[in-house]
Structures are given as C-alpha cells and as structure tokens.
Amino acid sequence: MWGGRFATGPDAIMEEINASIDFDQRLWRQDIRGSLAHAAMLAETGILTREDVDVISAGLKGIEAEIEAGRFTFSRALEDIHMNIESNLKDRIGLAAGRLHTARSRNDQVATDMRLWVRDALDQLDEQVADLQLALAEKADTYAGAVMPGFTHLQSAQPVTFGHHLLAYVEMLARDRGRLRDARERMNESPLGAAALAGTSFPIDRHMTAKALGFARPTANSLDSVSDRDFVLETLSAASICAMHLSRLAEEIVLWATPQFGFVKLSDKFSTGSSIMPQKRNPDAAELVRGKAGRVFGALQGLLTMMKGLPLTYSKDMQEDKEGTFDAVQTLSLCLAASAGMVRDMQPDLKTMKKAAGLGYATATDLADWLVRVLKMPFRDAHHVTGRLVGLASSKGVGLEKLSLAEMQEVEPKISDEIFAVLGVERSVKSRTSYGGTAPANVKRQAKRWLKQLAKDAKPQS
Ligand code: ARG
C-alpha cells in the first residue's frame, strides 16, 4: 500500500509485531458496512462517479459473501482487516478499488469499525443482563418469603428472605444496564470522515455517513475522532463493574452450595464431580464466573495504561485496544449466560436456610427493638440489655428463645413473656416493612414490579 515510498518489504519480525489481522478480522462486517456507507456518500457528493461506486459496492458485497461463507483467505502480509479487504477488492474489480480510500484514512476507518463493534456489544450485553435480571426476579417472586440469614462481615446479622437477597442483585444489574446504555448514548457519534487526523479537502458529507451507520451525528473534532478510545474504556469499565457483581453472586453460590451452608443445590447441569473424591459436587461454573472477572478488569487496566501517555492523535499503540476488548466482551457474555443458567437451576433448601436464619442470635435486634417499642427504653440501653441476654444465652450454649422468662427478668425485670413472639425468624422478617425492607409482602411487590418492568423492556421498541 505504501510501495511508492518503500524499497523493500518488512522484516519478518516487523510483520509479526505489526499485523493485527489475526484478531481484527472479526471487524469485517463493520469494515464493509463502513466502506459501503463511505462509497455511497462519495457518489452522492459527486466525488466519485456513480459507475465506480456501483462497481465498488458490488465488489464489497462479494467480499462480504465470501467471508460469510468462510472462503476468504486473510493474509498477514496485508497487515489488517482494512487492507485485506481493500486488496481483495482490487483483485476483484481492478482500478476502481483504489478510489474507495478517497477522503478517508485507516485512522477514521478503524475508529468507525471499533465504534460499530462496541455499539453492538453494548446492545447484546444489555440484553443478556436483562435476562439474568429476569431469572433472579422470577426466583425472588417464588421465594419472596423464604427466610434465610442475612450477613454482615459474613456473620449472622438479621434474618432476611431469599427473594430479598436475589432482588439485591437485580438492583445492581439495573445500574449495570444504566452504565451500558449511558456508554452507548455517549459513543454514538461517527468519526468517519475525520480522515487521517485533520479532515479532508474533498466535499464529503459526514452527516450522510453518520446517518447511514446509525450514528446520532458526526463527531465534531477530527483530531479527537481518530484518537479517542474512551468509548472503549467506558464500555470496559461498565463491563468490569458488571463482572464484579457477577463474581460476588458466584462467590455466594459457591458458599451456599457447600455442605456447611447447604442453602442451595445446583443440578448436574451446573456442577462437576471430582475424579478422585466420589462424594464431591463442585460449583465450577460459579468459580469460573468469579475467576473470569479478572480478565475483564485486566482489559480495562491494559487499555488505560496503553492510552495514558499517547500524544494526539493516532499512534499504533492504539491497535492494542482490540484483543482485550474482544476478550472482555466475550468473557462477560459467557459469564452472564452461565449466571442466568445457574440462577434458574439452583434449588434452595428452605429448611436449612430457615434453621440457619435463627443461628448466631440473629433476632437480637428484634429483641432490642421490642425493649424500645414496648418498654420505651432508649435504643442504646436496649442494645446493652440485649447484649447481656445474648451473653447469658451464649454462656448456656442456647438460643435467645431458649432462655426462661425468669432468666430474662434477672437482666431486665420489666420484660414480659410477650417478648418470645419477636424471637422467631418469621416474625422478624415480617416486621421489616419499611420501604426497601425484607418483609415478604415488600419483596413480593418488588419482584412483581421487576417482572413487569423487564417484560416492558423486552418488548421491541417501535
Ligand atoms: N490496524 C490499525 C489499528 O488497529 C488500523 C489503523 C492503522 N493506521 C495507521 N496509520 N497505521 O489501529
């Protein structure tokens, strides 16, 4: 492509370090789509003749069909997807192929391709996150009233319901979707026509190509257009936060599926056995979702580091934006699918969860609240009295509800036997009716709200 200035070909190592075709070939659809839009605009503005553009467009469509059919041979010597396609076009249609690159550069071309690819990725991830939300909301609806321990510091804190716990993830994922959509909204501008960096002297119509490619508008500054990759960074940060959320859910599934917790059972579909220990059922899918988060974070860190020292505008360093991004999107997509599968698959053990909910003096706050409500004790004093009762029960090795009234009255004489009513875990969760609280009726209402909202989102926008 630059033989005019160069006398010999590149060294083999140069070719190896320089070529991106091994990974950027996945941009072929975007590259052809961008070229078709560019060519149509060149005809419309009279920069190229209609005849040339018809031949170019037909040639591009031929290439598209050939790649689609898996019959196209990509060549490393041709460096990247842009030149592989252009060179093939020349073989097909001859001279006119050389006119396609009028008023553009690989710099705006790759920026356009990458935006188109990332935009599709954002849409696909959004859909997958919504499906995981749906799986969680359905389970939450079914188990709105199933009591389980709520933890802080991974210590029994207060009883909550399984549905409430699952809906916490639905909320996190909703914010993830907000971030993905935000990123999409901000990135949806067309860099095509910025050319190498300074724009072009040809009378191009950037609004036309922007529209043809589904962008809201052309980018406003040609230098920024070819050197911006923050649309990729935003995508990777949204993806990283989402991967972190999936990893936390996965970690909980790993814990819950242990015989020690025994809160949920995963079917054979989402667990594996051990080749040596016949009793084992390992939650490998959950562990891998947890483990793969690191790759997504790595892609973000890698791209931030690669970009931070680059002067405007394009530098070849930026070719390194691709592998990590492709991998991160593919990884997150797989993790989302696996998470939705596991959530749909897992069966809670209601008896075990309920029993665990009463361990660790989890209704101590209910007892303290009772002292405040019924005996009008200041909360700090009630906290102190309850602490002494817990200490007493603990020294006897029993639960709070197993203390006798006389024993309780030794700590606080005004306590009556009404107090036993609040020491049950069912009563405890039922009483948490504050907005956003874990009372089963609240949880049911929230689960229904989400199911309705998700069904509405899923309807195709007209
Ligand atoms: N393969 C290159 C990339 O991915 C395309 C742009 C090359 N531009 C250039 N001036 N060398 O960044």
Question: Residue 115 pLDDT more than 70?
Answer: yes
Residues 190 and 124 in one domain: yes
Indicate which atom in ligand 1 lies nearest the CA of residue 314.
10
In the reported structure, the alpha carbon of residue 381 is separated from the centroid of ligand 1 by a whole-number distance in angstroms of 69
**Burial code of 376-398, b = ≥16 C-beta within 10 A, e = fewer?**
ebeeeebbbbbeebbebbeeeee
Q: Is residue 375 part of a domain?
A: yes
- Please enumerate in sequence order all residues whose Cβ is within 8 A of that of 270, keeping only pairs 6 or more positions apart, or say none: 283, 285, 286, 338, 341, 342, 345, 346
Question: Residue 185 pLDDT more than 80?
Answer: yes
Structure confidence by residue, pLDDT tens digits, 192-236: 999 999 999 999 999 999 999 999 999 999 999 999 999 999 999
Distance CA 406, CA 410 (A): 6
Structure confidence by residue, pLDDT tens digits, 431-454: 999 999 999 999 999 999 999 999
Residues 185 and 228 in one domain: yes
Q: Using the 3D structure, point to which of 354, 386, 416 is the last residue of a domain.
A: 354
In the reported structure, the alpha carbon of residue 194 is separated from the centroid of ligand 1 by a whole-number distance in angstroms of 14
Residues 21 and 135 in one domain: no
Residue identifier of the C-alpha nearest atom 7 of ligand 1: 106
Per DSSP, the three-state class of 154 is coil
Mutation test residue for ligand 1: of 5, 74, 106, 114, the one with most atoms within 8 Å of CB:
106
Exposed, middle or buried, 88 (CB in 10 Å: 0-12/13-18/19+)? Answer: buried
274 is known as an active-site residue: yes
Residues 174 and 310 in one domain: yes
Q: In this predicted structure, what is the pLDDT of residue 461?
A: 57
Question: Residue 462 pLDDT more than 60?
Answer: no
Question: Residue 393 pLDDT more than 80?
Answer: yes
Which range among 98-112, 205-219, 273-287, 356-370 shows the weakest confidence by mean pLDDT? 273-287
Q: In this predicted structure, what is the pLDDT of residue 457?
A: 87
Q: Is residue 257 part of a domain?
A: yes
Distance CA 83, CA 404 (A): 84
Residues 169 and 275 in one domain: yes
Residues 415 and 278 in one domain: no
Q: Is residue 448 part of a domain?
A: no
Q: Give residue for tokens 């399984």.
A: 162
Q: In this predicted structure, what is the pLDDT of residue 339?
A: 97
Mean pLDDT of 352-369: 92
Residues 263 and 407 in one domain: no
Residues 181 and 262 in one domain: yes
Residue identifier of the C-alpha nearest atom 12 of ligand 1: 319
Report CA 215 to chain centroid distance, whole Å.
Answer: 23
What's the whole-model pTM score?
A: 0.93
Mean pLDDT of 367-383: 95
Q: What is the dihedral of CA 201, 203, 206, 209, to 10 degrees?
A: -120
In the reported structure, the alpha carbon of residue 58 is separated from the centroid of ligand 1 by a whole-number distance in angstroms of 25
Q: In this structure, how many other beta carbons lie within 10 angstroms of the beta carbon of residue 6?
A: 9
Question: Residue 429 pLDDT more than 60?
Answer: yes
Question: Residue 1 pLDDT more than 70?
Answer: no
Q: Is residue 261 part of a domain?
A: yes
DSSP, res 435: T
Question: Residue 273 pLDDT more than 70?
Answer: yes
Distance CA 237, CA 332 (A): 12
Question: Residue 9 pLDDT more than 80?
Answer: no
- Please enumerate in sequence order all residues whose Cβ is within 8 A of that of 53, keeping only pairs 6 or more positions apart, or say none: 39, 40, 42, 43
Residues 350 and 364 in one domain: no
Angle at CA of residue 79, ends 301 and 221, nearest 5°: 60
Q: In this predicted structure, what is the pLDDT of residue 281?
A: 81
CATH number of the structural domain spanning residue 91: 1.10.275.10
Domain boundaries, position 391 = 360-431
Share of the chain above pLDDT 70, in %: 98
Q: In this predicted structure, what is the pLDDT of residue 2?
A: 65
Q: How many domains would you assign to the chain?
A: 3
Question: Residue 3 pLDDT more than 80?
Answer: no
Q: What is the mean pLDDT of the chain?
A: 95
In the reported structure, the alpha carbon of residue 258 is separated from the centroid of ligand 1 by a whole-number distance in angstroms of 50
Q: In this structure, how many other beta carbons lie within 10 angstroms of the beta carbon of residue 191?
A: 30
**Maximum CA extent, the chain:** 101
Residues 327 and 397 in one domain: no
Please report, for residues 97, 222, 280, the alpha-carbon distance to residue 203 in angstroms, rounded to integers and kept in the order given.
Answer: 20, 15, 69
Residues 395 and 413 in one domain: yes
Q: Using the 3D structure, point to which of 328, 354, 380 is the last residue of a domain.
A: 354
Mutation test residue for ligand 1: of 81, 87, 110, 192, the one with most atoms within 8 Å of CB:
110
Q: Are strands 155-161 and 147-152 parallel, antiparallel or unpaired?
A: antiparallel
> If you write DSSP's letter for every residue of 347-414 in order, what string do you get?
EE-HHHHHHHHHGGGTTHHHHHHHHHHHH---HHHHHHHHHHHHHHHHHHT--GGGS-HHHHHHH-TT
Q: In this predicted structure, what is the pLDDT of residue 303?
A: 98
Mean pLDDT of 376-382: 95
Mutation test residue for ligand 1: of 319, 322, 326, the one with most atoms within 8 Å of CB:
319
In the reported structure, the alpha carbon of residue 421 is separated from the centroid of ligand 1 by a whole-number distance in angstroms of 71
Q: Is residue 325 part of a domain?
A: yes
Residue identifier of the C-alpha nearest atom 2 of ligand 1: 319
Q: Is residue 459 part of a domain?
A: no
CATH number of the structural domain spanning residue 408: 1.10.40.30
Structure confidence by residue, pLDDT tens digits, 30-81: 999 999 999 999 999 999 999 999 999 999 999 999 999 999 999 999 999 9
**Burial code of 52-75, b = ≥16 C-beta within 10 A, e = fewer?**
bbebbbebbeebbeebeeeebebe
Q: Using the 3D structure, point to which of 335, 354, 373 is the last residue of a domain.
A: 354
CATH number of the structural domain spanning residue 118: 1.20.200.10
Instruction: Dihedral sign for Cα 12, 16, 17, 20, please.
Output: positive
20 is known as an active-site residue: no
For residue 20, the surrounding DSSP H or E stretch is none
Structure confidence by residue, pLDDT tens digits, 160-173: 999 999 999 999 99
List pocket residues of ligand 1, CB cut-off 6 Å: 20, 24, 80, 106-107, 110, 314, 316, 318-319
Q: Is residue 457 part of a domain?
A: no
Per-residue pLDDT band for 11 (boundaries 50, 70, 90) equals confident
Distance CA 230, CA 31 (A): 20
Residues 410 and 328 in one domain: no
Structure confidence by residue, pLDDT tens digits, 394-424: 999 998 989 999 999 999 999 999 999 888 8
Indicate which atom in ligand 1 lies nearest the CA of residue 80.
1
Q: Is residue 449 part of a domain?
A: no
In the reported structure, the alpha carbon of residue 30 is separated from the centroid of ligand 1 by a whole-number distance in angstroms of 15
Residue identifier of the C-alpha nearest atom 3 of ligand 1: 319
Residue of 75, 267, 274, 416 marked active site: 274
Indicate which atom in ligand 1 lies nearest the CA of residue 24.
4
